[in-house]
Structure 1
C-alpha cells in the first residue's frame, strides 16, 4: 500500500471546520429587535411585555459580542404596570437616532390592558436621551394615534413621520400600516392619519401587517414590515416608493424572510426585522425567530430570540441572508463566537446588575444586598406567584435550552403561609416552583408546585384552556434549620426541580415537567416571551416577616 495515498485519503476525510456566525446573537427571549448604528457603535432594543424595567438596550462594536447597557424604561414614571395581563405591557420598540440634534429616540407601545373584552388599541409614545450609555431616558411623550409598533422617520426636508400598525375599529381585527406627520417635540399630529399599506397577504384578520420601519436609501424610500401573525407564518416583506408614504411597489421576491415554508427547519417564526449599514458599507439585518426542540412547536420555551444575518442588494432591493432561510450557523459570515457563558453572582456588590427583572412595576423595594452582606435578601410581600400583580420575585432570562440554575437559600418560615424558593417562570398561569414553607407546627418542609392546564387542540399546536390544575406536594426536610440548595435543570423538552440539604452535593429531583408547560399559552392567551429563572418570597396572601437570603445565583448554559 502506498503510504502517501493513505495519508491523503484520511486528510480528505477529516471534517472541515468552517467559520461563521453563531445565532441567535441575543439568546433567551429577546423579541422584536430594532437595530441602530451611531459611529462605530451598534445598539439593539427588544420587547419586555409585563417585565420591569422595560426595553433592554444592548451594545456592540462588532455585531457579534453584545453587552446589556441599560433599559429605556426603568422608572415608575415611565412604566407603571399594576395588574397588567401577561404578554401585554411593553411591545415592539423602534430605536432611532437624530444626528442633527444628537438625540436617541426609543418609540414603544404600553398595553396596560389586553383581554378579550378590551381590545382597543393603545397610544404609543417615545422617550429620548442624549447619552445612551447613561441609562437615563426621558419620561414618555405620547403620539395622538391609537396603534402599536410605531416607527419614527425623519425625511430629508425635516418632516417627521410616525408609522404604525392599526385598524379602523377594534372588532374586525383587519390591520394595516398607518402614518402621519408629527411634531417631534410634542408628539402632536400635524396631518391626518392615512392608511399607506395593507400588506402582501390577503387583507383579512390573519394578515397582521405590523412592525413597520421606513428608510431612505439611495434616493429611494423603503417600507419594511412584518406579516402573518406571530407563529409559523410570520415573515418580513419590503416595499419601495417615491415618498415616505408610498405609493408602494412590492418586492417581487417577497417575502424576503420566511422560514415557515419548511417547518422542519431548526429556526422558525422568523420576521419582525430591521436593517442597518456598517461603516464599511455592508448591510446587516436582525429579526426574531424561535428554535422548536425535537421538531415540536410545543417545546420552544426560550421564546423568540434575536438573530443576525447579512444583507446584500440586487436591482435596488435588499436580499436577506443570500435568499436563504435564517439558521443557527451562517458560514463565512463574521466569526464563530458563542454568546453564552456561565453567569455567577455571589452578591458581593451593593446593587443588582442590569440582567435582573421584576414582574410588573414594584410598589416599593423588596430586595437588599446590604441587609446581609454576601447575600441577596428578598423580603416577602402578600402576593404569591400566579397573582396578577407584583410578587416579591426577581427574574433572569434563561439563555440556553440546556441550562442549569442553582442557588442556596437560607430561610426560616414562621407559618405555613410563609414560603420562599425558586421558579421556572413564564407567566401567572405558567410557572413551576420548588421552595421551603412552614409546616404549620413551627418547623419547615419542602414544597413543590406545578401548574398544568387542560389541553385544547389548535390548528398549529396544542393550547391550554383557562382551567388550571395546580399540584402541590410537601416533602419533609431532615434539617430543621440552615441552608438548602435549590436547582432547576433544563433541557430541550423538560425541567427537573431539585434540592440538596446543607453542603451536600447530591441533589434529589422530586419533580420533572414537560417544557410545553412553559411554551403553550392558555386558551385565548399568547406566547410572546420565554422562560426565566426566578427567586421569590411570599406570605401567600398575608404579610410576612421572614426574610429569604440567597447566597448566590448561578446559571450554567450549554450552547
Structure 2
C-alpha cells in the first residue's frame, strides 16, 4: 500500500489551504514577513510535493517594509471557480496589545503560475479570510472577527459577507454565523457543501499545543450552525511528545475517486516542547459517518503515515543540494525579509557565477535587511557557503546566519577589526539580547572564506575553512531552542531559516559575493 508520510511539507509551512483542480492538487501556506508572499505547492498523488510558485511577487501586491516580526501574510486561502484561481490573504501590520491591523486582500489568476492580479482590498475586521463559492454562483468572504474591547472575547466569531466579483467589493450585511465552541480562539474558517449541509471547519484552542480542528453544520448558509458532538475531530496527544503536535488549522479536499483528505498544520518538538522547524503541513485521510459528520481515519490524533489515494504515482526531480548561482534567476526556495529581490541590493549578473549582496540594515531591522535564506526542513543538516568579502570597518559584516526573527538568530560573520584586520566572529541574539560568544575573533587572510553550520536538533556548531584547508570548529556548540515559536514570552509563528546576509551599518552598501550555497540533510530516515 502506498502511504503519505507526514509532514508532507516539512519545515515552516503553516496554515495549509488545499485545493484540487482536475488532476492537480495545490497547497498554499503562510509566509508571514518573508518575501515572496505565499508558497503554492503542487502534487498529482498527495504523496510527492514540490514548491511550484509564489503569487505575491510585487510590492503592489504586498508591501511589508516595516512589518513586525510574525506579521505579513497570514493564512492564505486558495480556491477555484469560473475558470479562475482566487487567493485571499491577510497582511498583518500590528498584532501586539489590544489591537490588530489585519488587512484582507484578494488576487486572481487564470493560471496557477500567474500572472496574478494586483490586489482588491476587502476588509480589516479580522484575519484568516477565506472565499466560499456557493453552488448558486454567489461568493462569500469569511474571516474571524477581532474584538479589542476589554472584557470581551477577542475571537468574537466568524463573519460572513457577500463578495461581488463584478464590482470587486464586499456588499450587503455582515453576518456573525458562528461564535465557536468551549475550546475558544475560533479562527481559520472554511466552508464546504455536502448532501444539503454547509459544513464550517474552524481552528480552535490557539496555535500552540491545544490547537484543534472543529466542525459545525447548517442547512442554511447563515446558520444556526450545529456543533459536531464529537469535537474536536483532530487534535494532538500532548502526553506523547514523539507524536505530531499542535495539529489544527485544517482545510479539506475531495479526490477524483471521492476520498476525502484534510491538510492541517502540525509541529515536531526537539526537546522541552521547542519546535525549531516551526509549524509544518501534514495530511490525514477522512471519511463521513452515517450521521453525516466528518471523521479522521484512526481517530482524532494525527498519524505519521496515512493511506494514499489510488492515484498514479507522480514524483518530481530531486532538488539540487547546491546552488552555484549560475542561473539568471533565484531558485524558488530562496526568500528575503520584507522586500522583493531587486537589483539595488541583490544581483546575479554584476559578477556572473556569484550571488552579490549589497550591505543593508542590521539583523534587528524590520525594514531593509540584505538577507537571503531558505527554510530549515530537517533536524540534521549541514549548510555551507564560500564568501568573498573585503570589509574596511567593523560596521561592515557578511556571513552565514541561522535565523528565526529580529530577536533570535546566530550569525557567523566576517568583519573588520582595528587590530586584527579582516576577521571572523559570532553574533548571537537570544530573546533580543545581543551577545558575542567568542572572547576573541579569528584573523583571516584576504582570500575567500568558507563557512559552515552543522545543525543537530537543538544543537548548532559553526566551522570555517580558508585557502582550501580543512574545516575548523569556531566557538562552542550553541543551544538553538530559542529559534522557535515556543521559547519567547510572546506568541510568534514562523520557523528557522538558514542563509546568507550582508550589513553595512555606515550606509555605503559594501557588497559581498557568495560563490555557492550548500544545503545537505544528514538524516537517513524520518526523524520523529
1:133-144 paired onto structure 2 within 5 Å: 133-134=113-114, 136-144=115-123
Deviation of 1:161 after TM superposition, in Å, equals 1.2
Match of 1:149 among 128, 135, 149: 128
Residue-by-residue CA offset, 1:397-419 (whole Å, 9 max, x unaligned) = 11101111111111111222211
1:279 deviates by 0.9
Within the candidate set 277, 281, 305, 1:306 is matched to: 281
After TM superposition, give the deviation of residue 308 of structure 1 in Å: 1.0
Structure 2: distance between partners of 1:238 and 1:308: 17
Alignment deviations for residues 66-121 of structure 1 (CA, whole Å, 9 cap, x no partner): 121211211000111121110011100110001xx2010000111122232x6144
> What are the equivalent positions in structure 2 for 1:206-225 lying under 5 Å apart?
207-225=184-202
Counterpart residue number, 2:416:
438
Is the Cα contact below 8 Å between 1:121 and 1:148 reproduced in 2? no
CA distance in 2, matches of 1:293, 1:265: 9
1:126 aligned onto 2:90: no
Residue 426 in structure 1 maps to residue 409 in structure 2: no
Alpha-carbon offset, residue 442 of structure 1: 8.1
Alpha carbons of 1:185 and 1:51: their partners in 2 closer, same or farther (altered >3 Å)?
A: farther
Change over 3 Å in CA distance of 1:512–1:552 after alignment to 2: same
Give the Cα separation in 2 of the matches to 1:139 and 1:45. 18
Distance across 1 between alignment mates of 2:474 and 2:318: 26
1:554 matched to 2:518? The reply is yes
The residue that corresponds to 1:112 in the other structure is: 93
Shift of 1:551: 1.1
2:43 to 32, 45, 60: 60
Does the CA-based 8 Å contact 2:92-2:100 persist in structure 1?
no
| SS of match in other structure, 1:322 | coil
| Equivalences for residues 251-270 of structure 1 within 5 A | 251-270=228-247
Indicate how the Cα distance of structure 1 residues 152 and 210 shifts in structure 2: closer, same or farther if over 3 A, else same.
same
Preserved contact between residue 107 and residue 152 of structure 1 (Cα < 8 Å): yes
Alignment correspondent of 1:297: 273
Map 1:29-40; keep pairs closer than 5 Å.
29-40=12-23
CA distance in 1 between partners of 2:124 and 2:168 (Å): 10
Kindly provide the CA deviation profile for residues 330-380 of structure 1, in whole angstroms up to 9, marking residues without a partner as x.
367779999986621111111101111111124953111122222111111
Cα distance in 1 between the residues matched to 2:192 and 2:125: 22
> Which aligned pairs between 1:289-368 and structure 2 lie closer than 5 A?
289-294=266-271, 296-298=272-274, 300-315=275-290, 316-330=292-306, 343-362=321-340, 364-365=342-343, 366-368=345-347
Deviation at 1:229, TM superposition (A): 0.5
For this pair of structures, how many residues does the alignment match? 517
Unaligned runs of 5+ in 1: 1-17, 454-465
Residue 455 of structure 2: aligned partner: 490
2:189 corresponds to 1:189: no
The answer (yes or no) to whether the contact 1:141–1:186 under 8 Å persists in 2 is: no
Aligned residue number for residue 458 of structure 1: none
CA distance in 1, matches of 2:83, 2:188: 25
Tell me, yes or no, if the aligned pair for 1:103 and 1:128 is still in contact at 8 Å: yes
**Partner Cα separation in structure 2 for residue 438 and residue 168 of structure 1:** 51
Which residue pairs with 1:463 in the alignment?
Answer: none
User: TM-score scaled to structure 2, two decimals?
Assistant: 0.92
> What TM-score do the two structures reach when normalised by structure 1?
0.87
1:22-80 CA distance string (max 9 Å, x none): 11111110000000000001111000111111101111111111121211211000111
Flag the structure with larger Rg.
1
Residue 497 of structure 2, aligned match among 507, 523, 532: 532
Equivalent residue number for residue 249 of structure 1: 226
**Distance in 2 between residues matched to 1:197 and 1:437, nearest whole Å:** 56
Indicate the residue corresponding to 2:349 in structure 1: 370
Counterpart of 1:41 in structure 2 is 24
2: CA distance, partners of 1:413 / 1:519: 32
The CA distance in 1 between the partners of 2:309 and 2:381, in whole Å, is 27
* 2:382 aligned residue: 404
Structure 1: distance between partners of 2:443 and 2:101:
54
Take 2:307 and 2:20, find their aligned partners in 1: how far apart are those partners?
24
CA distance in 2, matches of 1:375, 1:387: 25
